[in-house]
Structure 1
Amino acid sequence: MSRRWRRWRVLARTSRRGSLSLRLRLMLGATCLAILFMLALLPVLQAAFSLAFERVIEERLAADANTLITASHLENGRLVMPDRLPDEEFNLPNAKLLGYIFDPQGKRLWQSRSAEDESIDYQPRPGGDLTEFKRVRDADGLEYFVYDVELRLTDEPRQAFSFVTMQPTSEYRSLFEEFRQQLYLWLGGGLLVLLTLLWLGLTWGFRSLRRLSHELDQVESGRLDRLSEQHPKELLRLTRSLNRLLVGERRQREQYRNSLGDLAHSLKTPLTVLQSVGEVMSAQPGNREQARVMHAQIERMSQQIGYQLQRASLGQSGLVRHRVPLHPLLVRLCSTLDKVYQDKRVQIDLQLPQDATLPLEQGALMELLGNLLENAYRLCLYQVRVSLKQDADRLWLSIEDDGPGVPVDQRARILRRGERLDAQHPGQGIGLAVVKDILDSYGGELRLDDSSLGGAAFRLSLPID
């Protein structure tokens, strides 16, 4: 059940996790799609602009060709043009607009003053009533737009003249380059605005997930019993499922603990009866050895039952997380142990912040610290130290004493269930095993080292989250 809760919790928290957040993934995906769309749109816009601009140039050259046609007339079968044309660009030597007239054989009959210094070897294509718009290059490699219209000025089919107007493409290229730069700027600015709006939209849209995550944090910390119904309809099924899981887990855990309590209570009576029978048997001289063995086995059974009950009930719960203040709990435990070991006058040194907490349940933490502190009080000479440190992702709690310590070759053995290094004191050696089981259920670790005080140092590590 707890694994299922953790999976739900990870899914609900993905909206605020660094590079793995759902919002960031959507943003990166949308950015990639927007960039690909802009890259695909860029050549389309450039081609559309080029086509539209060429159409404008074609219409302008066609109008200039009509000017030549209107100004021309035949006298005695010869083509005659006025000295000056209505369009002044034809009359200026350095103008960009060029005009030519060719006879049906392709011989140049007339050229505008603006074309006198140009060396363009252009030959029209005869065919009758033919209109062309194309590009040509002169002897120097300069490119021109050419509009060529073939027109018969008389009824004779052989009197078809070609009226040609030209314009350099350099002006078109400079305008196209300027348009392309402006297009880059506008598309880049549009992309930034789009991504900004998209980020704001995702931020607004993920408010529901952040609210759900906040409620999950409150449920984990015990401030809420269930998730609210104030969520979008797409999340209501999830929240209702989580609430059912939460109620079911709470009910199951309560029944489990009640059943364990009933089991422990029901086992106490037969064990007490067996112990009374053992005491009666020990009164008879011939049964003392059997009574001693029975008493030892009853004591072993009692401790093993206690150990298994503690192991089953002190594990980590599913969704609800607990953080227990450490300092007041240590003060209470040490006060109790001071009374038990008052002859030693143990000096306890607590090196931890007043507001330090550990992510364990109250009962589990009491059992864990009680076993380790009782072990330190029992084996120390007169000094015990408890310290707490934290690194990037773990908490480290150390309980040290100035006792005889533990040989290196014996450290792994005493951490196993039922093993004891101190054979002079009664017990079955299950205290450290309980500690280790509790830590395992919370993802922690137990390590045994040498202490700077001269004795043993039990070091506990727990994940922060």
Structure 2
Amino acid sequence: MPEPEIRPPPAGRRRRPFSLRNRGILAATLVLFAALALVGLALYEANYRVAVSSLQARMESYMYLVLAAMDVDASGRLSLAEEDLADPRLNQPGSGMYLQVEGRDQAWQSPSLLGVDLPELSQIEAGQSRFAEPGDSQGFFLYQYGIGWQLEDGSIEPFAVSVLVDAAEIRGQTRAFRQGLWRYLGAAAVILLLAQLAILYLVFRPLNRVSGDVARVESGLAERLEGEYPLELEPLARNVNRLLDTEQANQARIRNALDSLAHSLKTPLAVIQAGLPLHGGSAADSMQNAVHEMQRLIATRLERAGSSARRTLAEPAPVLPQLQRIIASLDKVYSHRLITAEVTIDSELNFYGEER
């Protein structure tokens, strides 16, 4: 049974890597948006903290208004002069601003609490204060302060003053700030992105010029990298020019050596070939064939050596004149056959190699 033939898997299409320009643009864009996002989050958090701090200060001022307006009689009954509370929202049900004074067995609430379900508030010691954000008080900012009211008989009646503000007030303030913040940061991102693109264009412009000059050398339109380059690219241009000079020098040296070798070998062979008929003999024909074979081998080896010494970056040779020259030579050799040759070729076609 024949063994199955094992074939290597077909080579996949090689993915073209990103250019330096695309990498720079991608990296700059990612860094820019990441930095602006972090700045936006930091500014939003700072604005939120400022708004909460300002709210806490206002809630403390409401607490002092309550302390100034409240009174406790000799029996410990709580009363509060509502006309001393200057904020009209305290008299508007569901306004978002709420007050409560709670004792052992009595409590006072502002009219704004009508129809509002308050969360269960914990007790607080006299002289202590507590501020809680909505996560701890079910949708309300809470500020509590504990007091102890001394009665005429010397006993202490504890009370807890609670100021509550709906979290929607802060959310509204921060929402407006957030919308404006992201709008301005988006405009800044567009401006900075355009500026970065312009900077990257200016930075990579010398590289593009070097690439174009190298392409001109490869196509044979130029022999060296000419012009002034930035300091960082001057060593590259200098080394490339040295490489080109070295290649030209090596090519000239090899060509001269091959010409000398061809002359040294062909001259003795020509002498031998000319002297063979004079000697005659039965070995003349075989020696003549050997000389022809040696001439053919020398020509072949010199041609291979010459092709290996050709310049990599050579001036392009037009194909049409060479083809016309070959056809003209063939017409002269085979003129008796009356052969007509027509050439259909692009006149701009070039061969990137040495003209022989």
Per the normalisation by structure 2, the TM-score is: 0.83
- Structure 2 distance, partners of 1:135, 1:99, is 16
Q: Which amino acid aligns with 2:92?
A: L
For the Cα contact (< 8 Å) 1:72–1:80, is it kept in 2? yes
**1:97 corresponding residue in structure 2:** 97
Q: What SS does structure 1 have at the residue aligned with 2:343? A: strand
- Structure 1 distance, partners of 2:139, 2:233, is 65
Q: What SS does structure 2 have at the residue aligned with 1:246? A: helix
Summarize the alignment of residues 213-362 of structure 1 with structure 2, pairs less than 5 Å apart: 213-228=211-226, 230-282=228-280, 287=281, 289-315=282-308, 317-362=310-355
Q: What SS does structure 1 have at the residue aligned with 2:101? A: strand
- 188-197 vs 300-309, which deviates more? 188-197
Q: What SS does structure 2 have at the residue aligned with 1:114? A: helix
Using CA pairs below 8 Å that are at least 6 residues apart, which structure has the higher relative contact order?
2
Summarize the alignment of residues 33-182 of structure 1 with structure 2, pairs less than 5 Å apart: 33-38=31-36, 43-76=41-74, 78-84=77-83, 85-103=85-103, 105=104, 107-135=105-133, 143-152=139-148, 154=150, 158-182=156-180
Q: What SS does structure 1 have at the residue aligned with 2:295? A: helix
Q: Could you report, residue by residue, the CA deviation over 1:98-142 in whole angstroms, capped at 9, with x for unpaired residues?
A: 111122x3x44311111122221433422121111114699xx96
CA spacing shift, 1:307–1:108, aligned 2, 3 Å: farther
* CA displacement at 1:250 relative to structure 2: 0.8
Summarize the alignment of residues 176-215 of structure 1 with structure 2, pairs less than 5 Å apart: 176-215=174-213
* CA displacement at 1:333 relative to structure 2: 1.8
- Structure 2 distance, partners of 1:135, 1:242, is 69
- Structure 1 distance, partners of 2:320, 2:184, is 62
* CA displacement at 1:146 relative to structure 2: 0.9
Q: Could you report, residue by residue, the CA deviation over 1:292-336 in whole angstroms, capped at 9, with x for unpaired residues?
A: 111111111112111111222234745524322222221222112
How many residues are paired up?
338
For the Cα contact (< 8 Å) 2:99–2:163, is it kept in 1? yes
* CA displacement at 1:174 relative to structure 2: 4.3
Q: Could you report, residue by residue, the CA deviation over 1:24-51 in whole angstroms, capped at 9, with x for unpaired residues?
A: 1222233344444455556544443433
* CA displacement at 1:209 relative to structure 2: 0.7
Q: What SS does structure 2 have at the residue aligned with 1:233? A: coil
- Structure 1 distance, partners of 2:211, 2:249, is 23
Higher strand share: 1
CA spacing shift, 1:185–1:121, aligned 2, 3 Å: closer
For the Cα contact (< 8 Å) 2:146–2:161, is it kept in 1? yes
Which residues of structure 1 form unaligned runs of 5+? Answer: 1-17, 364-465
- Structure 1 distance, partners of 2:323, 2:343, is 8
CA spacing shift, 1:136–1:53, aligned 2, 3 Å: closer
For the Cα contact (< 8 Å) 2:56–2:143, is it kept in 1? yes
CA spacing shift, 1:252–1:48, aligned 2, 3 Å: same
Per the normalisation by structure 1, the TM-score is: 0.65
Q: Which amino acid aligns with 1:88?
A: P
For the Cα contact (< 8 Å) 2:78–2:106, is it kept in 1? no
* CA displacement at 1:339 relative to structure 2: 0.7
For the Cα contact (< 8 Å) 2:63–2:161, is it kept in 1? yes
CA spacing shift, 1:121–1:142, aligned 2, 3 Å: closer
Identity of aligned residues (%): 27
For the Cα contact (< 8 Å) 2:97–2:165, is it kept in 1? yes
Q: What SS does structure 2 have at the residue aligned with 1:170? A: helix
For the Cα contact (< 8 Å) 1:316–1:361, is it kept in 2? no
Which residues of structure 2 form unaligned runs of 5+? Answer: 1-15
CA spacing shift, 1:267–1:197, aligned 2, 3 Å: same
> Structure 1 runs of 4+ off > 6 angstroms?
none
Q: Which amino acid aligns with 1:149?
A: Y
Q: What SS does structure 2 have at the residue aligned with 1:147? A: strand
- Structure 2 distance, partners of 1:102, 1:183, is 42
- Structure 1 distance, partners of 2:324, 2:48, is 84
Q: What SS does structure 2 have at the residue aligned with 1:362? A: coil
For the Cα contact (< 8 Å) 1:221–1:323, is it kept in 2? yes
- Structure 2 distance, partners of 1:343, 1:272, is 32
CA spacing shift, 1:196–1:265, aligned 2, 3 Å: same
- Structure 2 distance, partners of 1:108, 1:342, is 132
For the Cα contact (< 8 Å) 1:124–1:162, is it kept in 2? no
Q: Could you report, residue by residue, the CA deviation over 1:196-227 in whole angstroms, capped at 9, with x for unpaired residues?
A: 32222111101111121122223233443322
Q: What SS does structure 2 have at the residue aligned with 1:343? A: helix
